[in-house]
Structure 1
């Protein structure tokens, strides 16, 4: 019975640990922590010595009726350590007032610094809970990434290159090493199975703007998609699958976009064999932030009513409603203000919509 209770308690602790949110934190070496505490303790010590030295006339020494600087250091050390031999004591009203209002709080601070390791262990969970509550209250319209493998990391790097900040990304992964790696890079992480609604809720999927699903298995992608869509009907879901035959199932499950990783890599390999330069251009287009970028943007007011060929960027397609029209489609000959454009844009040049906003601001 005792073994069963111990095993059940270990299982509960493991489940609680695996479902918890880990926020990024600055790791400090133990030696550095000890040095910092010693310096803080010495600072408190010498501040107290200075206070006693400046008011030395108000102290009484039973040995020679004279308080020297060494006596001040001696009195400070025995006072802050709460030893208190009593051979040197405050005699005047000002000295007693300084002891009551200043030196006593410094004594408490000195003791706190000395036992800081113990207090830190006792208060670490409370501090973490306070950080977690503050993080939850401020988290809105963020991005959740399920799977911190090669695909998940690459997706995050692409999003960061477009202006997304690290504090707006939450990583979910069942492996503790992956979550620690995400923390080391500045992302909040949840260790757990993304198919479980409890894990997704801890990542605040119900308030997220978008979710990237990139696990190792296609069936996991389907289950995560179903769970995420149930928790947040308005969330944008982009999922990756290995096998192309599973892509329709993911779309039926609620994914807005499905990327087939295996076939996409195979097509790039084939293109590299047939046309090496073309494959280099494709690689540059999908790598955001450098060289040429393939991006989607709205039609600006200056572009409305014009032809796609008159745009500053090279227009590849025109998105009108739920249809994607090629740039040479007769229906896309005249751009509408409600259209969106898929364009090839140079990363070093400001986008037309940015220049339009600057013009309105001026």
Structure 2
């Protein structure tokens, strides 16, 4: 019986080992593929060209120092060609010695020259080699560090916001999100253009480069774990495909889509969008209001620009406000969300605010504290 149990346990352990090995190999392959399409924000450092020039200058300095050391004791060296060592011979000896070529035509013959080679020139040779291979080692280290950062980011990213498209609409959406208190490390940009990825990286945002209509690109942005998705693409047909793909990957996320034409709103909602904002009609209405009453248009623009003058904010009802009329609030209440219904301030059901209500208020903009890194 014991032999049978032992033999039956072997396939189980072997299967478990294979599954763990396959999983680790799959994760490593996914991280490698993600490393080619995901850009992580980096702190400002020394530019690559400046690093190369600095290493080159340091290498030339080591070469010049070695040349001077050899020439200072040139009588202790022998040149097989003519027996004497001049300055050019000293530079030649320093070059072939530091590069570990070592032709052997110039050799140290005195005890002093050999001792200097042991204590001084050999450490300089090691330093010179470190300078030469330093750039390659730094590139390999940066790649490994980048893959580790991407792996950690993928494991930790949950309940974040995915913004598809980092054009004018996408950038203003991110600015509004940050103004509402969402930190930049909880925002992920997806864009097909490398220029947009560079702009997002400069703004401190993680970017996935690729076509957002493809499910593998959205998976790299961890859209399956996102709480909200903003689709700010340039074309309505692209927005419909992105919305459909995002909804397939994440049925629970709130998806907000920007559309150019009103006629495409039903299609986008059928694709899975919770809210559709039509940019062309909104701009047209604002133009009409500006013509009739420029001050009203200015007020609307002020309300839509977070942190400037007046802010239109949605928040929960406080304990002090519960049971009180909306007018008793310190902020101007213009609407209330109750049981998923939007009630304006003229609705007779808004005699008293209730616990669990969410109020939409107009209040004076306040300066926000600087965002922590």
Q: TM-score, normalised by structure 2?
A: 0.71
Deviation at 1:140, TM superposition (A): 2.1
Deviation at 1:286, TM superposition (A): 0.4
Deviation at 1:294, TM superposition (A): 0.5
Equivalent residue for 1:193?
Answer: 211
Equivalent residue for 1:221?
Answer: 239
Indicate conservation of the 8 Å contact 1:318/1:340, yes or no: yes
Equivalent residue for 1:322?
Answer: 340
Deviations 1:217-249 (A, max 9, x none): 112111111111121122111111111122122
Equivalent residue for 1:210?
Answer: 228
Structure 2: which 5+ runs fail to align?
1-32, 64-74, 77-93, 369-373
CA distance in 1, matches of 2:35, 2:168: 22
CA distance in 1, matches of 2:358, 2:364: 18
Equivalent residue for 2:163?
Answer: 145
CA distance in 2, matches of 1:169, 1:44: 47
Deviations 1:245-285 (A, max 9, x none): 22122222222221111100100000000110000000000
Q: 2:251 aligns with which of 229, 233, 258?
A: 233
Deviations 1:118-161 (A, max 9, x none): 33344443333222212222322221110111111110111112
Following superposition of structure 1 onto structure 2, how do residues 236-275 of structure 1 map, counting pairs within 5 Å? 236-275=254-293
CA distance in 1, matches of 2:161, 2:257: 13
Following superposition of structure 1 onto structure 2, how do residues 63-142 of structure 1 map, counting pairs within 5 Å? 111-142=129-160
Indicate conservation of the 8 Å contact 1:19/1:202, yes or no: no
Q: TM-score, normalised by structure 1?
A: 0.73
* Secondary structure at 1:115 match in 2: helix
Equivalent residue for 1:157?
Answer: 175
Q: 2:326 aligns with which of 305, 308, 313?
A: 308
| Residues 39, 321 of structure 1: alpha-carbon distance in 2 compared, 3 angstrom cutoff | farther
CA distance in 1, matches of 2:285, 2:201: 34
Indicate conservation of the 8 Å contact 1:289/1:347, yes or no: yes
Deviations 1:73-127 (A, max 9, x none): xxx9999876897775679xxxx9x99xxx97x9756532332223334444333
Q: 1:280 aligns with which of 292, 295, 298?
A: 298
Q: 2:38 aligns with which of 21, 34, 41?
A: 21
Q: Which stretch shows the higher mean deviation, 122-131 or 302-311?
A: 122-131
Deviation at 1:24, TM superposition (A): 2.5
| Residues 112, 140 of structure 1: alpha-carbon distance in 2 compared, 3 angstrom cutoff | farther
| Residues 242, 18 of structure 1: alpha-carbon distance in 2 compared, 3 angstrom cutoff | farther
CA distance in 2, matches of 1:303, 1:40: 69
Structure 1: which 5+ runs fail to align?
1-15, 46-61, 64-75, 351-362
| Residues 18, 337 of structure 1: alpha-carbon distance in 2 compared, 3 angstrom cutoff | same
Q: Which stretch shows the higher mean deviation, 215-224 or 304-313?
A: 215-224
Q: Which has the larger radius of gyration?
A: 2
CA distance in 1, matches of 2:62, 2:338: 69
| Residues 24, 164 of structure 1: alpha-carbon distance in 2 compared, 3 angstrom cutoff | same
